[in-house]
Chain A
Amino acid sequence: MEIYINAVLLTLLAVTSCAIIRQRSLFGVVMLAGTYSFLMASVFVVLDAVDVAMTEAAVGAGVSTVIFLIALHLTKSREYPKPRSAVVPLFITLITGFALIWGTSTLPPFGVADAPIHEHTTPHYLDAAREKQIAANVVTAVLADYRSFDTLGETLVVFTAGIGIMMLLRVRRRRGPAGGNEGEPS
């Protein structure tokens, strides 16, 4: 049953991504990206990744939509109808896509319990949780205990990105080289 729910949600995701490609209004694009994130969060629930689903719903559909909208407010909300040719990008993506699909043919099918990914380290985590050496939610336990170095690094990356944004945006405005009227000094 879950495999069919999964298939329907994934099809909806593909349709949404097509709509994102075709949509010209950037406001529409941002809203569709929010829809896409919610659909992706639903897929994660079906795939048993509830922690990931929660994060994706809060970050992808919540915070990133707000940040995109602020950026749109600060720039322009209409995509320029450009005369750029679509042939070369389409060719590149089709070639890459077929190469990748050919690559998936040897991957284990969906939902198989004896795939190589389930053979190493994971049984150890699950056994440790069953023996009550770590907390019941294995994801939190692995995140904050077994892989705490990793998480420390990720926290540092988030902080560093925050510093970068402050450095970029705290600088006083100057008139642009071509005198764009949005760049007036305050």
Chain B
Amino acid sequence: MSVFAELIGHYNYFITIFLMMAGLYIVIARGNMIKKLVGLSLFQTSVYLLYVTPGKIAGGTVPIIDPAYSIYSNPLPHVLILTAIVVGIATLALGLALVVRIHEAYGTIEEDEIFARDGEI
């Protein structure tokens, strides 16, 4: 029972780390730049989860104050992640703009082909 309690108590962290590693694996193992950016955003989203998870209190509610409730989850991680998401989309778009420019210059978005082409010149 205690193993199960331990597992369910840390399940969020396990999945967060799994998602993080999935993102890291895509970034390292795949040569396609758009796939790499998807991997990066996977990693980024898992960081959001890592922040929001400890803020949850079992039996708590959304941090909007109302006399009917007394336990609230921690609002501070929500604030940090809220701004991080919008900054994340802006930087993701910047990355995609770079990919578009690379495609125009090299005619490909595969990293291996770009390296090969750079070697030729």
> Contact residues of A with B, CB < 8 Å?
2-3, 6-7, 10-11, 13-14, 17-18, 20-21, 26, 29-30, 33, 36-37, 40, 43-44, 47-52, 55-56, 59-60, 63-64, 67-68, 70-72, 74-76, 79-80, 82, 84, 86, 88-90, 92-94, 96-97, 100-101, 104-105, 107-113, 115, 117-118, 121-122, 125-126, 129-130, 136-139, 142-143, 147, 150-151, 154, 157-158, 161-162, 164-165, 168-169, 171, 173, 176-183
Contact = CB atoms under 8 A, between A and B. Distances in A.
Given A93-B24, A136-B66, A147 B79 contact: yes
A182 to B, nearest CB: 6
Given A59-B89, A113-B71, A154-B87, A50 B62 contact: yes
Interface of B: 5-6, 8-15, 17-26, 28-32, 34-35, 37-39, 41-42, 45, 48-49, 52-66, 71-79, 81-94, 96-101, 103-110, 112-113, 117, 120-121
A160 B40 CA distance: 20
Nearest to B120: A178
B89 to A, nearest CB: 5
B49 A143 contact: no
Contacts of B121: 177
Given A52-B52, A161-B87, A178 B117 contact: yes
Contacts of A169: 97, 100-101
Contact of A20 (B26, B72, B91, B100): B26
Contacts of B23: 17
Given A96-B24, A137-B63, A161-B90, A180 B107 contact: yes
A43 B49 contact: yes
A30 B37 CA distance: 10
Given A20-B42, A143-B82, A151-B83, A48 B63 contact: yes
B90 A109 contact: no
Which of A94, A150, A165 has the most C-beta atoms of chain B within 10 angstroms of its own C-beta? Answer: A165
Given A162-B90, A181-B107, A14 B12 contact: no
Contacts of A92: 24, 28
A126 B22 contact: no
A147 B76 CA distance: 10
Contacts of B78: 49, 51-52, 139
